[in-house]
Structure 1
Amino acid sequence: MSGKSFVLSEDWVVVILGLGIIALALFGVIVPVPKFGWSNGSELSEKVLSMQNLGAMGLQFLLVYGTAIVGAVLLKKSVKALLIVFPIIYALTVLALILAGNVGVKSFNLEAVIFSLAIGLIISNFFKLPSWFKEALSTELYVKVGLVLLGTTVIFGDILKAGSLGLVQALVVVVSVWYFAFWICKKLKIDKEMSLMLSSAVSICGVSAAIATSGAIQGDNKKLSYVISLVLITAVPMMIFMPYMAEWMGLSQEVTGAWLGGSIDTTGAVAASGTLVGEEALKISTIVKFSQNVLLGIAAFFISIYWTYSKSVDEETKRDKPTFKLIWERFPKFVVGFVFVSLLFSFVISPEVNAGIKDSLKSLQGLWFALAFTSIGLETNFKDLFVQENKKPLYAFLIAQTFNIVVTLILAYTLFG
């Protein structure tokens, strides 16, 4: 037998965790939904902070805590650090949920994910967090578990309807924005490695695309980390302001969702911004983003071909000829989980069973998103963007992102208007 230990990829672990939560609900383990709405001090103490409601929060905590621990074990990450860090993340997230539950706050359409992000950013930018604490954060895992659970609310007919249009939009956006971003990087004389990662991040799906591209070209981790920082930080204002811009322009939820899904780089930020607009916008934005995610494996394949055979690459850095196997290796597997769950709830689960578990699963879905954005805030530092040597990639990213926003808006209005 081989001495190498087998480790599941994060995407497959996400599918296992998401399906596990759904299976528990189907077998009768239905976690009660905590209440966070309040308008005054007495409602806060008697309703939100009542023993019954705190008990519901506690049961939710036990489920997500246990899920996170299982995820860490499957990914062979430090469970010891997670045991300390996760309760802190959960407590900060509950604080965000309580703040967002205020009637006055709700009148401004400010969702819990915005408060989660803000709380995390304040802590990370005013206090120095130890490296072991940051290493225990699993932002992508939390986002993807939430997205697998989102499949319980998206019927397959919606995927076929919006997915075909979303794929057309994704193809045009990915190709046009990728080449524009790469051209801008070339004009600014940014090195090719950084240019490839940055162009993929802007045009396809943010963090996942940057990671996939870095893997395809075996890129430098410092450059990858910088591109990821750009993605996460620029996603914040886009996530917050684009829904309000869409409302100001009078865009429908369908057009807004397609615009958000095609423009915002991180899948979690797309889900959060879609939530700000409405249920239909959330569905369309997620499906459009998934359409772009599907292209990730194909893009990584062609990027690896380009990198391998580029005349500017030294003979020593050339790799073996890539195969179509790379497409599957780079394909975001959590999309498989999302589609499977959508099929399950579209054609197998009866409406009666679904009615008994949908509120619990939807609450958990929102909680995973909020946990993810608390984590994003905790791992993001604004100072990293303004180092002198990093200004050119910052300029390139902002220019390309502006181009992306305009092109995607035109396509979204044309296809979904």
Structure 2
Amino acid sequence: MSISLDEQPIQDNYHTEKKPFLSYLTEDWWAVILGGFLISLVIYFYGLGYTIDLPVYKWATLDDLSAKIFSADNILKIFGVWVVFLSLTTIAIALSGGKVKRFILGFTFIYVVSIFAFLIGGNKNVSYYGLEYVVFALLIGILLGNLVQLPQWLKEAVRSEFYIKTGLVILGTTILSADLVKAGLPGILQAVVVVSAVWFFSMWLSRKLKVDDEFGVILASAVSICGVSAAIVAAGAINGDKRKLSYVTTLVLIMAIPMMVLQPWAVKFFNIPEVVGGAWLGGTLDTTATVTAAGDLIGPIAVKAGVIAKFSQNVFIGVAAFLIAIWWAYKKPKKSNGEIAIQKGNGIGIVWERFPKFVIGFIAASLIFSFLLSAETSKAVVPSLSGLRTVWFAMAFVSIGMEAKLSSLIKLQEGKPAVVFGVAQLFNIFWTLLWAYILFGGYIFEVPDFK
């Protein structure tokens, strides 16, 4: 169930006696409002003839670092994003009864840490190995959360769910129906067969090993769809435990590195056709960036096939979020004071009460960019929106890291979730390879021409 920002900040440390203005707006609705405002702002400026240029963080040498990253223009852009994000979030916190002064200080600190994570992940040598900002945002947050006693002013801004949900609304702009058409029938069929089979296998295995369903849903979504992004969406859809999301994210990142190296090697060693190998990468690796990097080790056809397969699979994020949210709303009764409360009202009312409202924003953004905006406008504004979304996600992972206690992560359900993830990922690798051969190997359809 979504909880308003005034009712329960993530640490549950601050409550206001006076009921704040607009207290009926939950955290989910604030995410929709803020995400929707940023989307509208970018489209509005594009209509006026302006493209919002975001800071750059990619660099290879120290000369690049000083000339590009620390140039006056780039620093001004970093400052501008901070001003916009801080203004929007502060309004939400103020109207929800939060501690504004503490939040401003804490938000600024988390933002600076996020920029530092972008700088590390932006290095050419680091990004070559598939290590992105998410890794460093999470690691820095974990170090801070486990080695330092967080001050009260920082705790007020550690609101991982708020940042994640706002980023997810913006993520909807990149999930386009046109990508399904681009993927073609083989890509769509592979996505359907792989996602559904791997998801249900992961859930079955979770229950066999007595891993709770909340953990199972996040694990299954991460393995079957697209790693970190799918884990975030699934955790948001069921209002999942942030420790479990942190755990799954760590597993995804650890597993991705050897997969990026070993899968291209296997394609060459076993003489797997390049188009099949690309489809295999697209169905198993986490992000489009990692698919592209691994595909480069095989060839240009593998890159194209992999990216198209990844596109078709990414579309399932929205479908999964919607279906998981409805299933979870029916499955889990509302709790009151630790006891299971009897639900009153009809089924639709219960589902609406528990349904994560940010999913509505996510789906609305996807539909608007798929059917209402022109392809030219969509193509022009999506890069800026994707850049803004990554800032929200970086701040979310810094916050998740701060909340994650290593001792509890290690002990969490006796390591069984890690076993589920590993076995499910192996199933995913072999199952996807089978269907990549069937659908892209010329057995049913003509071999796609990606030259």
**With structure 2 as the length reference, what TM-score do the two structures score?**
0.66
Which whole-Å deviations, capped at 9, do the CAs of 1:335-373 have from their partners, x for residues lacking one?
Answer: 32133234344457387xx3xx56544543444444444
More helix by share: 1
Amino acid of the residue matched to residue 19 of structure 1? I
**Alignment correspondent of 1:298:** 323
- Mark the CA change 1:238 to 1:164 in structure 2 (over 3 Å): closer, same or farther: farther
Superposed counterparts of 1:2-13, under 5 Å: 5-8=23-26, 9-10=28-29, 12-13=32-33
SS of residue matched to 1:206: helix
Q: Match for residue 339 of structure 1?
A: 367
1:207 and 1:228 in contact (8 A); partners too: yes
Q: Partner of 1:349: helix, strand, or coil?
A: helix
Alpha carbons of structure 1 residues 144 and 252: separation in structure 2 relative to 1, 3 Å: farther
Pair 1:104–1:177, CA change in 2 (3 A) = closer
| Number of equivalences | 385
User: Residue 35 of structure 1: CA displacement?
Assistant: 3.9
Asked if structure 1 preserves the Cα contact closer than 8 Å seen for 2:42 and 2:52, the reply is no
The CA deviation string for residues 72-97 of structure 1, in whole angstroms up to 9 with x for no partner, is 45766554443122222221222233
Residues 41-97 of structure 1: per-residue CA shift (max 9 Å, x gap): 444334432323322222232233334334545766554443122222221222233
TM-score, length-scaled by structure 1: 0.70
1:259 aligns with 2:277: no
Change beyond 3 A, Cα 1:283–1:323: farther
Q: Given the alignment of the two structures, is residue 198 of structure 1 paired with residue 223 of structure 2, yes or no?
A: no
Q: Any conservation in 2 of the 1:177–1:202 contact (CA below 8 Å)?
A: no
Root-mean-square deviation (CA), in Å?
4.4
Match of 2:65 in 1: 44
Structure 1: gaps (5+ residues): 216-220, 262-269, 309-314
For the pair 1:129 / 2:150, whether they are aligned, the reply is: yes
1:288 to 313, 316, 319: 313
* Corresponding residue number in structure 2 for 1:311: none
- 2:188 and 2:315 mapped to 1: Cα distance? 9
| Aligned-partner Cα distance in 2 for 1:137–1:228 | 15
The residue that corresponds to 2:234 in the other structure is 209
Task: Give the secondary-structure state (helix, strand or coil) at the position aligned to 1:117.
Answer: helix
Q: Distance in 1 between matches of 2:196 and 2:108?
A: 42
* 1:54 is the counterpart of 2:71: no
* Farther-moved stretch of structure 1 (167-176 vs 384-393): 167-176
Shift of 1:16: 1.8
Question: How many percent of aligned residue pairs carry the same amino acid?
Answer: 29
Secondary structure of 1:7's partner? coil
Shift of 1:174: 5.8
Matches within 5 A, 1:230-379: 230-250=247-267, 255-260=280-285, 270=287, 273=290, 285=310, 288-302=313-327, 319=343, 323-324=347-348, 329-330=355-356, 332-333=359-360, 334-347=362-375, 349=377, 354=380, 360-379=384-403
Q: Distance in 1 between matches of 2:322 and 2:108?
A: 35
Query: What is the CA–CA distance in structure 1 between the aligned matches of 2:204 and 2:311, rounded to whole Å?
Result: 29
Which runs of 5 or more residues in structure 2 are unaligned?
Answer: 1-20, 222-229, 268-275, 296-302, 334-338, 442-451
Whole-angstrom distance in 1 between the partners of 2:418 and 2:71: 48
**Partner Cα separation in structure 1 for residue 22 and residue 87 of structure 2:** 27
Change in 2 beyond 3 A, CA 1:101/1:285: same
CA distance in 2, matches of 1:184, 1:197: 13
Counterpart residue number, 1:92: 113
